[in-house]
Structure 1
Amino acid sequence: MKRYFQASLLAFLLSAGPALSASDLTELTASEAAKAIADGNMTSLELVEALIDRTGNDAGKAYITFDPDGARAAAKAADSFQKDGAELGPLHGVPIVVKDNIIAEGLPATGGTPALKDWVPSSDAQVLAKLKEAGAILLGKTNLHELAFGITSNNAAFGAVANAYDSSRFAGGSSGGTGAAVGGHLAPAGLGTDTGGSVRIPAALNGVAGLRPSSGRYPQGGIIPISKTRDTAGPLARSVEDLVLIDGIITGTGAALTAADLKTIRIGVPATFNENIDPETDRLMKAAFAAMEAEGVALVPVDTTTIVDLASKIGFPIALWEVKRDLAEFLKDNNTGKSLEDVATQVASPDVKFVFDNLILGDQAIPDEIYETSINDLRPQLQAAYADLFAANKLDAIAFPTTPLPAQPIQGSDMNVTLNGKEVPTFQTFIRNTDPGSNAGIPGLSLPIGLTKDGLPVGLELDGPAYTDRHLLAIGLALESVLPETPRPQRQ
């Protein structure tokens, strides 16, 4: 009910009340901002200025390239276009951010790595072009884990991304900058990329919603790759309504979507994904499940042992074999002036450096036969196992904590973190629940479900059958109104 009250208050202020303050403007979601601009209650420039003001001197916490002058110029053009009475796109005048492995015309596309810091593409990635065609304005390019090879976004070349709720904690990754910018109200929405959890993890850790679409639904042209099989762009926003809007624009499926009837929804709860999680994460997950059941959702225990086993065998072999080919091809085809070896030589982050030197270009590189078995045999088995799980149990989705624990300190967490009194590897622990669905290419939606006692966000993930993305979003629309509200972060 609280979320509905806030939405009603905003609607009243935008339609009948006095001009909103800059702080009020940064509360707006992308959908609310688009409506306010279209209705003439606010200009694009006013919103852009409010977001620039909120960012202040903290751009380095989320951005690699912050472009306030470019955003102002685009906003002025959008406002002039509107005065001319032209038909407006669904994101007309709305500022967004994109991860800096998604190319944007006229701005550096670093991929978070030193070798590409001076590369300035002359075109937009296909996903960004679609959003710009819908009227979106680009505020800048956000920081990421170097070359998208990690989950902390502690980037040795461009700095660590600070969590929106606690600047001493990491923002998650690899799309940490987008997660921090959206969660910190520096932008209403943005794009990241997801190979093994890189949209959903920062969404969960920064208190926002994030969608990994089914593999192949979004065009990948103009995105610095890891794996053609596993990569996809994905949106992050502070409302599921915004995810619906952005997804509809990118895929051409339309923006309108009706919330699902929760009394008809069956959701599987896999023990393997819901065990050995942080106590506060467990508390918030149990509260979320209770709220879902109270609304009529059927929760069904399911066994995902086979899925977890298959996924563990294929994720790294596919990504590490494909990046050697896919990244080299991208660098050449996009006239970056750099080779794969050039990029690898200049990698700054120790964890990423180790991967390139040993697991991609070194003597521990994935053999062809291992890759062929993974892509042609094991991955189809994994996809079939997921399909069987959903069909046999008549499930709309499965649900679990997006990450087993909330954001951890930036300092000292690169290699290991502590979970339930035991030291565990950071990377493998944080992708534990997101990686299996990524390997199968199914859609995953992370929703915020509240804050821990330490004030850190926790996310609940829903994974659905392949290409049921819009139905998954419809479930998300319905659940958003019954799950606990995640408060706005305090300025740090």
Structure 2
Amino acid sequence: MTDDFSRRDILTSSVAVAASATFPSLGVVRSAMAQPIPSSAAEIVAAIRAKKITATAVTKAAIERAEQLKDLNAFIFLNKDGALATAAEIDEGRTGPLAGLPIVIKDNINTADMPTSGGTPALHNAQPRSNSPSFDRLFKAGAIIIGKTNLHELAFGITSSNLSPFAGPVKNPYDKTRIPGGSSGGTAATIAAGIVTCGLGTDTGGSTRIPAALTGTVGLRPSVGNGGAQRRYNDANMVVPISHTRDTVGPMGRTVADVALLDSVITGTPMATAEALRGKRFGVPAAFWGGLDRDVENVVKAARQKLEGAGAVFVEIDIVGLFEQNAKVSFPVALHEPIADIPAYLKASEIEGITLADIAAKIASPDVKGAFGAITADAFGAAYQDAITVQRPALQKMYEDCFRDNNLDGLLFPTTIAPAPLIDAVKGSGEMSINGGPPVPTFDTMIRNTDPGSNAGIPGLSLFAGMTPGGLPVGLEIDGPVGSDVKLLGLGLSIEAVLGTAPPPKI
């Protein structure tokens, strides 16, 4: 079976026909109405609203595509009956800004009508009593939930090599021997594989942006700041947590426009529009551009040249001591806050009879079990208050000073320093090599450029930069000050217009 979306045939419930040139950007299918089904989120909604296609036909096509590609291990729960029931409601007249749009939801985000497992055995059949607010807004807007997607167990990792018996490692559609990134790897894989155009992930240290980079898709980490009004999405105690300081739900999509559409519905604000690139100032942090895999370096340098040709201005900067400062925040926060946050989540979600100790005891992935050993021993308890009250504010000031002193519209850098590494089906996350060098930890290596902005609470957007000679996608990230999410999306729209979108994988 081929996945060249501009030529392939996709089965619907009634017929299989060749893709129409009406929507050449991605694959299309035909419903029983003999009308093309586009794969752009906005086009799908518009076509259903105009009654050119039916929500049922779109939904059946997405479900069948998911079943055809089940070997990707992208889903934990496929919502066939629920999705078709919602589609029928849309076809019978239910309206909304997303009416009929198939999407997926990461399986650590609460859904009242589907289990929320967090990808871990102790929560496999856990059933929250209510939807998370971000998901609820999409559902009420008419989105059709195809299913809950696989993830790195408990979101504690960046490979999505989940060794829980009901999950399994998620595979990258561009090379099934490689990771799709994580922890939102299932959502990214479904989008890259053409099952849906968009969906929800979560991001603590890079979990929407890393998988976006490794699958040629787009991922937004919204502003978190210091919480309160600075937090763009508020899903407190409605997502299986790592850290209330760092966690956020984030939209993911094939294009920036797909992500901007979900962001607009979740926030109830106007959708971002393109920002002219000419004269925009992008900081290029030396530390973020150093130590790159050669193929990634060639791709991002070529992307930078194209953007310079479009009028973008690049400013060489050096945020001295940023990685060292980040290390004073990262683990002390992420490996201490779960001690209180997980019990708070279980209580708020009305999940009874399960404790933090139960979850820790049943963890299946060795890398995650190791992390929970540090959590249950509270290995970072003594460092936590200093990390929150002193070190994190110092990290935030580094970013604030950088943006202000250099008059920057954003920071631009490779999302990850290497393309997708091979799946580690033994540990869940092991080691990798850069340019043939000695083995280095996969987690630390792949999270290097995304983690500091996460700890500072600033927004970040990863989008497609280009392909390596070996056919693997490379991501480029834009970070901005707290509250600049709409501007980042607008810049992303213009950058994507210059760099293009990823070619479809040949599965």
Distance 1:171 1:361 in 2: 29
> What are the within-5 Å matches in structure 2 for residues 61-76 of structure 1?
61-76=73-88
Partner of 1:201: 210
Partner of 1:386: 399
Partner of 1:177: 186
Shift of residue 12 of structure 1? 8.0
Distance 2:112 2:154 in 1: 19
TM-score by length of 2: 0.90
Partner of 2:449: 433
Q: 2:287 aligns with which of 266, 269, 272?
A: 272
Task: State which drifts further: 423-432 or 412-421.
Answer: 412-421
Q: Is 1:96 matched up with 2:93?
A: no
Partner of 2:22: 13
Shift of residue 367 of structure 1? 2.3
Distance 2:283 2:318 in 1: 9
Partner of 2:464: 448
> What are the within-5 Å matches in structure 2 for residues 65-464 of structure 1?
65-82=77-94, 88-157=95-164, 158-215=167-224, 216-221=231-236, 222-255=238-271, 257-337=272-352, 338-357=354-373, 359-362=374-377, 365-368=379-382, 370-411=383-424, 414-422=429-437, 423-464=439-480
Shift of residue 121 of structure 1? 2.1
SS of 2:191's equivalent in the other structure is helix
How many percent identity over aligned positions? 45
Distance 1:26 1:56 in 2: 18
Gaps of at least 5 residues in structure 1 are: 83-87
Q: 2:496 aligns with which of 476, 480, 483?
A: 480
Shift of residue 20 of structure 1? 4.7
Distance change in 2, residues 1:324/1:26 (3 Å): farther
Distance 2:333 2:506 in 1: 41
Distance 1:114 1:25 in 2: 41
Distance 1:111 1:26 in 2: 32
Q: Is 1:56 matched up with 2:67?
A: yes
TM-score by length of 1: 0.92
Distance 2:404 2:87 in 1: 48
Shift of residue 309 of structure 1? 2.0
Supply the AA of the counterpart residue of 1:365. A
Distance 2:401 2:137 in 1: 35
Give yes or no for contact 2:157–2:429 (8 Å, CA) kept in 1.
no
Give yes or no for contact 2:300–2:476 (8 Å, CA) kept in 1.
yes
Shift of residue 452 of structure 1? 1.0
Count residues with an aligned counterpart.
471
Shift of residue 59 of structure 1? 3.0
Shift of residue 414 of structure 1? 2.1
Supply the AA of the counterpart residue of 1:103. N
Give yes or no for contact 2:36–2:53 (8 Å, CA) kept in 1.
no
Q: Deviations over 1:93-124 (max 9, x none)?
A: 10100100001122111000000111122321
Shift of residue 50 of structure 1? 1.2
SS of 1:449's equivalent in the other structure is strand
Task: Please list every run of at least 4 consecutive aligned residues from structure 1 whose deviation after the TM superposition is greater than 4 angstroms.
Answer: 22-27
Give yes or no for contact 1:281–1:458 (8 Å, CA) kept in 2.
yes
Q: Deviations over 1:407-435 (max 9, x none)?
A: 11113672100112221110000000000
Shift of residue 57 of structure 1? 4.0
SS of 1:245's equivalent in the other structure is helix
Gaps of at least 5 residues in structure 2 are: 1-5, 8-18, 225-230
User: What is the Cα-based RMSD across aligned positions, in Å?
Assistant: 2.0
Shift of residue 27 of structure 1? 5.5
Partner of 2:481: 465
Shift of residue 21 of structure 1? 3.5
Partner of 2:3: none
Shift of residue 333 of structure 1? 2.6
Distance 2:35 2:341 in 1: 44
Task: State which drifts further: 94-103 or 113-122.
Answer: 113-122
SS of 1:177's equivalent in the other structure is helix
Distance 1:453 1:346 in 2: 41
Q: Deviations over 1:339-384 (max 9, x none)?
A: 1011111111001111112x1112x62124x111110011111111
Give yes or no for contact 2:251–2:263 (8 Å, CA) kept in 1.
yes
Give yes or no for contact 1:390–1:396 (8 Å, CA) kept in 2.
yes
Distance 2:67 2:151 in 1: 20
Shift of residue 141 of structure 1? 0.3
Whose helix fraction is larger, Structure 1's or Structure 2's? 1
SS of 2:93's equivalent in the other structure is helix
Supply the AA of the counterpart residue of 1:198. S
Supply the AA of the counterpart residue of 2:390. D
